[in-house]
Structure 1
Amino acid sequence: MSTIRPYRPADRDALYDICIRTGDSGRDATALYSDPRILPDIFTGPYLELDPALAFVLADAADRPVGYIIGTADTPRFVSAYRRDWLPKVADRYPEGSGTGRDAERIRELHHPEWMLQDGLADYPAHLHIDLLPEAQGRGAGRALMDTYLAALRAAGVPRVHLGMGAANTAARAFYDRLGFHEIARPAPSLVLMGRGTAVT
C-alpha cells in the first residue's frame, strides 16, 4: 500500500535516484550521461530547495519513496531564484561549455534556466515534474499525486499549470490526456508543452 505525504529532506537522495531511473522517457537514464546526477541537479534538486512546500512523495508500505511530484507556482520567479540561489551551488560540478552530446545539452540547460520561459505560457504560471518508478505505475498513484499537487496550487490561488514532456513518450501523453491536460505548443520537435486549469474537473 502506498501513501502520499509532504517531502522531507531525508527523501532527497531517493528522489534523485528516481529522477535518474526514470529520466529517459520513463526508462533508466543512468547510462546515458557521464555524470547522471546532472538530471536531478536540473529537474529535482532546485525544486526541493526552492519550493519544498510543493513537493509531494509517493511512499511504499515501508515509507520508501517510489515516486514524487514537484514544481513551482510561479515559473518566472522560480527561474530567477534558480539562477540566484541554486546555480552557484552546482555550477562548479558542471563547468559551462563542458561535456559532449547529451551531457553538453544538459549542462547548457543547467546554466541557462531561462529555457523554462517558453512563449505562450503566461496564462500557465505554475509548472510541475512527476516521476514514478515502474513498480508504482498503473495503480492510480500518478493521478493521486497530481490531485494532491493541483489542490496545493488551488490553495495558493494559482489558476493554471503546465508541464513539458518528450514528444516520443506516448505513455506519458496518454496519462496527461486522461488527466485533462491539453497541448499548448511544441517549441522543439522533441518537446511538447501541455497545460490545464487547477480546478477540479
Structure 2
Amino acid sequence: RPNTGYGMTETCGIITSVSADFFVDKPASCGPAMPSFEVKCVDDDGNAVPVGEIGELWVKGAPVIKGYINRPEATAESITDGWLHTGDVARIDEDGFIFIVDRKKDMVLRGGENVYCAEVEANIFRHPSVAEACVFGVPDPRLGEEVGAAVVLRPGETLTPEALREHLAGISAKHKIPRYVWFLNEAIPRNASGKFLKRQLRETLKPEAAV
C-alpha cells in the first residue's frame, strides 16, 4: 500500500505517517502527527497561525531532543519551551494533516513576497523537457532577492528561457517566475543525502551568465 511520512533526527525518527485511503485522499500531505507529538505552524514571532495558513512547523513531544550537546546557542535557536523549530515551512489543514511547503532557509523573499522554491521547482518539472531543476535566491539591490533557477534538460531536448517562462506564466504568479535561468550541461550537484547544493550554486552561477 502507498504510504509516506516525515521525521527528523532531532525527533528520534518519524513525526507523521499516512497510508492507504488517507494517502489517496491527500497525496500531497505527509500525514497527521503521531500520537506522541504536538505540532503547530507559527509566524516569525512564534505565534501560531490559523488553520490552513503557512508558517514554520514546530514539534513538541517526548521523542524530541532536549538540546544539542555542548551547543547552547544552537539549542536556544532551535528549541523554545520544548518546541523544536523544524526549519520547514508547512500548513496544517482542518483535519490535522501536514503539508510541507519548503525549507525556511530556502525561501526567497522577493520584494516582500515569499517565494517557495519547492513550488517553483515543481512547476518547472511539469515541462516535459526538464530533467532537473533547482531554485534559489539571487541577491538583488532593489527587491532584496530575485528568483534564480538552474535547469538540466532531458537528453535530446531543447528549451529556451522564453519558452520556460511562458510555461510558468500559465501556472504560477508572476513574481514566482525566475528572472535568472541557467541551463546546465551536467547534473545539478547534490550532497550525500541527495539534496541540491544550493549554496554551491549561488557561489558558482553568476547573474551575468544567466539567460
More helix by share: 1
Larger radius of gyration: 2
Bigger relative contact order, structure 1 or 2 (CA pairs below 8 A, ≥6 apart): 1
State whether TM-score is above 0.5: no
- Which has the larger share of strand? 2
TM-score for the superposition, normalised by structure 1? 0.30
